[in-house]
Chains A and B, each alone.
Chain A
Amino acid sequence: MATESTNSSNTTKSGNGRMIAFGLIALAVVLYILGLTDSYESGLSIKPMDQFAVYPLFGDGPVRWYTPTNATLWMGLAVLSIAVLMVMGTGGRAVIPSRSQSMAELAYGFIRKMVEDVAGKDALPYFPYIFTAFLFILFANFLALIPTSFSPTSHIAVTVILALTVFISVTVIGFVKNGATFLSLFWVTSAPLVLRPILAVIELISYFVRPVSHSVRLAGAVMAGHAVLKVFAGFAGVMGAASVAPIIGVIAIYGLEVLVAAIQAYVFTILTCVYLKDALHPHH
């Protein structure tokens, strides 16, 4: 037992040493490349918004709705990787799941439980769409974290379509399921009678502002995070040997961005569930 434990601790120690050595070599390579590029890119030239430019994949023509652009490419990659994960995950159907199967089951169970807890059991027919939207946002956010890639969810055009789909379908579902009683969502019966018309106006405004905040939250968080990464990277390009500090800053912010990517997908999904709950049970 004793020898085994020392052996394992030794291996972890050497593993740590190897990791640190690898990190130092990577840092040295980055600094060397920075030193090379420093010569022709003198002066502080930070263009943090250039990474969000949409351009055609082939040629230099104008961008029309059918033009394959870099946005199309990365959204397609997100869809492709979701399909690969789900096909691989459901292919085996083993009792002891493989890694891909347990990832697929984890995601499915997580979102299914969220829909059931937040929106209620009668929201489960809408679960497939919510799950699809969650996976799309999650994978688009994570793929956008690959350096030099493109983040589709940083564009308000993309997130507005996602949010408007939810908004319109939730409104339609509310009227179809409840008829005119859906309007009792705006008539707060728990408030005093004098206040109810004022509250109705406020509730109406907050209802129609939902798709705005729903979409701009996702786009704003992703865009701001990527712009901050680029600003720090711009500092690293001009500071010479002192650029170790901004590089460490970039690594730290990158870790934060991984967290933000997952949390924003989660928040978008849970707000969809909340709106769906309002449509199915409009009574306060």
Chain B
Amino acid sequence: MEGDIAQMGQFIGAGIAGLGAGLAALGVGNVAGNFLAGALRNPSAAASQTATLFIGIAFAEALGIFAFLTALLLMFAV
């Protein structure tokens, strides 16, 4: 065992921050699933809404990215 307790805390914190990426996956899945449910009800309107789908996915994903960024900062910058 090498390293000190502060480094151990960094690694544990980075691991916990990684959970945020998985939680963002819930949000992205929610957006895509609801889009599919709506698209199957009205397939003719689906094609015009794919841009909205991707914008929604990007915004839901943004908060997962902050979790990933926190993990990166804890691993390499702190």
The answer to whether B62 and A266 touch across the interface, beta carbons within 8 angstroms, is no
A73 interface contact, C-beta 8 A: no
> Taking each of A117, A118, A220, A274, which has the highest tally of chain B beta carbons within 10 Å of its own beta carbon?
A220
A114 interface contact, C-beta 8 A: yes
A183 interface contact, C-beta 8 A: no
**Distance A118 CA – B48 CA, assembled complex (angstroms):** 11
Closest A residue, CB atoms, query B57:
A267
Stretch at the interface among B3-11, B35-43, B65-73: B65-73
B46 CB to closest chain A CB, in angstroms?
15
Given contacts A216-B65, A216-B68, A220-B65, contact A267 B51 (CB under 8 A): no
Give the residue of A118, A212, A213 whose beta carbon is less than 8 angstroms from that of B51. A118
Complex interface: chain B residues within 8 A of A231 (CB): none
Complex interface: chain B residues within 8 A of A213 (CB): 62, 65-66
1/0 contact string of B22-58 vs chain A (CB within 8 Å): 0000000000000000000000000000010011011
**Distance A117 CA – B69 CA, assembled complex (angstroms):** 32
The answer to whether B54 and A216 touch across the interface, beta carbons within 8 angstroms, is no
Number of contacts between A and B (CB, 8 Å)?
32
A271 interface contact, C-beta 8 A: yes
A260 interface contact, C-beta 8 A: no
The answer to whether B68 and A267 touch across the interface, beta carbons within 8 angstroms, is no
Complex interface: chain A residues within 8 A of B51 (CB): 114, 117-118, 270
Give the bracket for the number of chain B residues in contact with chain A.
10 to 19
A154 CB to closest chain B CB, in angstroms?
13
The answer to whether A220 and B68 touch across the interface, beta carbons within 8 angstroms, is yes
**Distance A271 CA – B68 CA, assembled complex (angstroms):** 20
Closest B residue, CB atoms, query A156:
B72
The answer to whether A212 and B69 touch across the interface, beta carbons within 8 angstroms, is yes
1/0 contact string of A252-275 vs chain B (CB within 8 Å): 000000000001001100110010
B76 CB to closest chain A CB, in angstroms?
10
B49 CB to closest chain A CB, in angstroms?
11
What 10 additional pairs, Cβ within 8 angstroms, besides A217-B65, A263-B54? Answer: A117-B51, A209-B62, A212-B65, A212-B69, A213-B66, A216-B68, A220-B68, A270-B51, A271-B55, A274-B55
Top 9 A-B residue pairs of the complex, sorted by shortest distance between their CB atoms: A213-B62, A216-B65, A267-B58, A213-B65, A217-B65, A220-B68, A216-B69, A270-B54, A271-B58
Would you list 26 pairs from A and B whose C-beta atoms are within 8 A, ordered by A residue? A114-B51, A117-B51, A118-B51, A209-B62, A212-B65, A212-B66, A212-B69, A213-B65, A213-B66, A216-B65, A216-B68, A216-B69, A217-B58, A217-B62, A217-B65, A220-B65, A220-B68, A220-B69, A266-B54, A267-B54, A267-B58, A270-B51, A270-B54, A270-B58, A271-B55, A271-B58
